[in-house]
């Protein structure tokens, strides 16, 4: 099995991963990973959390990881993704890949003899969405009918994956972004098949009855050349105290990180009492372990 997209995981599979994570927290989970398993991390883009959380997870499970900066491989000289995958998978038990193109990731998985995990592409960030919903569950207990507001770049990889995973788990989502800036229609339509997802440009309307406020950078990796244009586009959509005050009094604030204080989120909010971003980041290692164990059981 691969986790290439948030669409790849059913509600039952997501809940199983959460159950493994809960058991790990309570030291109830047998670490079923094969001794000396190798996780290859093939990354075309930078990463702090995803890379290190998977490396730490693998080490704690008794496996090993190998980090490969794609630029240092023959991918940078034209060797195909498929050939790279055939070779890499012959040395590995799992591959986690961070790539620009979702199609390249799919090709990597098609040519791999071992499970492939999407560690972020331009289109998706499925492991992050698992972390996010697991973190929300810890605060809101019942995910059914809670309301999550995604503010700012509502067409980002993080938004795409979160709207699929959240709606599969019966949480409601409202995407709040500038007038005329729309979510990715494929993910939006898919998410609406599973649950209730709305779009609005109005912060006042969107923030009504909100339990979770979520944001992501305005300038994703690969968009550096259009950074100024994007900062202007999203300027009115900073998660600040005024916005937080419009949500429910027990609302939590989340960010996948890295954060840009003063851009998509104000410093007082990300560093304030409603922010759960450090817990969210910490959960990445727990969910990485749960994913690796789940994929080991599933094989
Ligand atoms: N949230 C997240 O994926 O962070 P990194 O880019 O540091 O991995
Ligand atoms: N949308 C962001 C997420 C970073 C984890 C990016 O792609 O850069």
Nearest ligand atom owner, CA of 96: 1
Same domain, 134 and 274: yes
Buried b (16+ CB within 10 A) or exposed e, 106-142: bbbbebbebbbbbbbbbbbbbbbbbbbbbbbbbebee
Residue 229's contacts (CB-CB under 8 Å, 6 or more residues apart) are none
CA distances from 191 to 3, 63, 172, 174 (A): 17, 35, 10, 11
What atom of ligand 1 comes closest to residue 46's alpha carbon? 6
pLDDT class for 299, splitting at 50, 70, 90? very low
Mean pLDDT score, 40-45: 98
Same domain, 86 and 219: no
Specify the residue with its C-alpha closest to ligand 1, atom 7: 48
CB 138 within 8 A of CB 282: no
Which three-class secondary structure state does DSSP give residue 191? Answer: helix
Specify the residue with its C-alpha closest to ligand 2, atom 6: 220
Express each pLDDT in 92-109 by its tens digit: 999 999 999 999 999 999
Specify the residue with its C-alpha closest to ligand 2, atom 1: 220
Same domain, 120 and 135: no
Express each pLDDT in 161-172 by its tens digit: 999 999 999 999
Express each pLDDT in 70-87 by its tens digit: 999 999 999 999 999 999
Express each pLDDT in 261-281 by its tens digit: 999 999 999 999 999 999 999
pLDDT score of 9 more than 50: yes
Which three-class secondary structure state does DSSP give residue 84? Answer: helix
Same domain, 165 and 100: no
Cβ < 6 A, ligand 2 pocket: 120, 156-158, 216-217, 220-221, 256
Q: How far does the centroid of ligand 1 lie from the alpha carbon of residue 133, in Å?
A: 16
Residue 35, domain extent: 6-124+281-298
> For the chain, what is the mean pLDDT?
96
Express each pLDDT in 128-147 by its tens digit: 999 999 999 999 978 998 99
């Amino acid at each position: 099995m691969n986790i290439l997209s948030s669409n790849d995981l059913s509600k039952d599979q997501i809940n199983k991963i959460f159950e493994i994570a809960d058991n790990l927290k309570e030291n109830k989970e047998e670490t079923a990973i094969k001794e000396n398993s190798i996780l290859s991390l093939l990354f075309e883009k930078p990463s702090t959390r995803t890379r290190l959380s998977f490396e730490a997870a693998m080490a704690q499970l008794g496996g090993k990881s190998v980090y490969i900066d794609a630029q240092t491989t023959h991918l940078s000289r034209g060797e195909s993704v498929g050939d790279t995958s055939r070779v890499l998978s012959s040395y590995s038990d799992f591959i986690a890949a961070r790539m620009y193109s979702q199609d390249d990731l799919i090709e990597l998985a098609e040519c791999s003899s071992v499970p492939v995990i999407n560690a972020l592409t331009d289109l998706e960030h499925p492991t992050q969405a698992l972390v996010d919903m697991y973190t929300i569950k810890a605060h809101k207990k019942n995910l059914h009918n809670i309301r999550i507001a995604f503010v700012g770049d509502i067409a980002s990889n993080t938004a795409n994956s979160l709207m699929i995973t959240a709606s599969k788990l019966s949480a409601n989502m409202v995407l709040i972004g500038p007038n005329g800036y729309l979510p990715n229609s494929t993910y939006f339509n898919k998410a609406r098949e599973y649950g209730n997802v709305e779009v609005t440009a109005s912060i006042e309307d969107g923030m009504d009855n909100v339990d979770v406020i979520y944001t992501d950078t305005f300038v994703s990796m690969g968009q550096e050349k259009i950074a100024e244009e994007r900062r202007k586009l999203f300027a009115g959509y900073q998660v600040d105290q005024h916005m937080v005050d419009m949500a429910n009094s027990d609302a939590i604030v989340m960010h996948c990180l890295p954060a840009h204080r003063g851009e998509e989120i104000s410093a007082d909010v990300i560093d304030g009492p409603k922010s759960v971003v450090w817990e969210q980041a910490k959960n990445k290692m727990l969910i990485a372990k749960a994913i690796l164990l789940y994929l080991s059981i599933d094989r």
